[in-house]
Amino acid sequence: MILNLLGEHYDITGEAKEDVDTYLELITQITAENLDASVSVKPSQIGLDISDELFVENYQKIVAHAYEHDAFVWCDMEDATTTDITIQAFCETAKAHPWTVGQCFQSNLKRTADDLADVIDVPGKIRIVKGAYNESSTIAYTDKSAVNDAYRRDIEYLFSNRSHGVAIGSHDPEMIALAQSLASEHETEYEIQMLMGVRESAQLEMAQDGVTISQYAPYGDKWFSYFYRRVRERKENALFALRAIVRS
Ligand SMILES: Cc1cc2nc3c(=O)[nH]c(=O)nc-3n(C[C@H](O)[C@H](O)[C@H](O)COP(=O)(O)OP(=O)(O)OC[C@H]3O[C@@H](n4cnc5c(N)ncnc54)[C@H](O)[C@@H]3O)c2cc1C
């Protein structure tokens, strides 16, 4: 289970600090209760809209705490204005605290193939997703089939160039089948990550077949942006997103 406290785009230091403190407490509890769980933070939730320095400081604080508690921290990727600093923070933090942090990369961005090559030896996990933010066609593939082509290419690159630490964040049966076949070919250790409430019977079946499935569970009352992104991806998502929010 990957726990994400809903909240983003804070422009007041106190709001970011509150969520950082909640993540620190959550990590302590995950370890104390010996739960098979990690957390996923958003850069703009822990200070990025206030300053790069505050984000990096908070991020390193959370990861250092996880390192001490033998826990794990994922970092979501937000819109393209945040990509540089987020990747920089990932590289620095993963080197200081190896295999304690994982970073999301978005295949819809044209830069991502180069970014993956730059981070391929960084001692942190990599979650590859199609990308949930509306970006300009100068920097991103905007056509669905071009995004799918880029996603296939990035998945193939990761499985061919890493022996472990690869996560596929997708509900797409075709992409999951591709990952499974590449994993057998290259013997790469990987996991499939899916949102709570989406294709849960498929999640269960794969888990029963021995695939590592991590369910991304958002919780808390700041649900609007999450709900909006899910419905923008697919209007049928309205129901599952509502159910996940109500459950949390
Ligand atoms: C764990 C996780 C973490 C993520 N983190 C980030 C992040 O940090 N930054 C970011 O930009 N994006 C993130 N995303 C969102 C991601 O970028 C995509 O926008 C989102 O996953 C939709 O793409 P898809 O690959 O699931 O499939 P889509 O391209 O939306 O759909 C492809 C096919 O998948 C199946 N499918 C998709 N959704 C459903 C559904 N609800 N029910 C049944 N079948 C479905 C259908 O067969 C569909 O035709 C994350 C996604 C996941 C799962």
Please report the pLDDT score of residue 222 as a whole number.
Answer: 73
Mutate to test the pocket of ligand 1, among 108, 171, 234 (most ligand atoms within 8 A of CB): 171
Domains (range + CATH), the chain: 2-247 (3.20.20.220)
C-beta separation of 226 from 245 below 8 A: yes
Which pLDDT value is given to residue 112?
98
Q: How far apart are CA 224 and CA 210, in angstroms?
A: 35
Q: How confident is the model at residue 224 (pLDDT cuts 50, 70, 90)?
A: low
**Whether residue 232 has pLDDT greater than 90:** no
> Which ligand 1 atom lies nearest to the CA of residue 76?
8
Nearest Cα residue to atom 43 of ligand 1: 199
Enumerate the H helices of the chain as residue ranges. 13-32, 52-68, 83-96, 112-119, 144-161, 173-186, 200-208, 224-233, 237-247
Query: Across-strand partners of 41?
Result: 75
In the predicted structure, residue 67 carries a pLDDT above the cut 90: yes
Contact between 80 and 133 (Cβ < 8 Å): yes
Q: Rounded to 5 degrees, what are φ and ψ at 128?
A: -105, 130
Query: Checking DSSP bridges between strand 125-129 and strand 166-169, what pairing results, if any?
Result: parallel
Is residue 232 among the annotated active site residues? no
Burial class (CB in 10 A: 0-12, 13-18, 19+), 59: buried
Which position has the higher pLDDT, 154 or 243?
154
Contacts of 150 (CB under 8 A, 6+ apart): 107, 108, 110, 112, 113, 141
Query: Residue 197 and residue 2: Cα distance in Å, rounded?
Result: 13
127 is catalytic: yes
Written as one string, the DSSP assignment of 25-51 is HHHHHHHHTT-S-EEEE-GGGTTTTT-
214 forms bridges with which residues in the sheet? 193
Beta bridge partners of 213: 192
User: Among 127, 154, 162, 230, which one carries the catalytic annotation?
Assistant: 127
Q: What is the DSSP letter of 9?
A: -
**Rounded mean pLDDT of 138-161?**
98
The pTM of this model reads 0.94
pLDDT band (50, 70, 90) for residue 242: low
Q: Which of 36, 55, 39 has its CA nearest to residue 5?
A: 39
Q: Is 54 in the pocket of ligand 1 (CB under 6 A)?
A: no
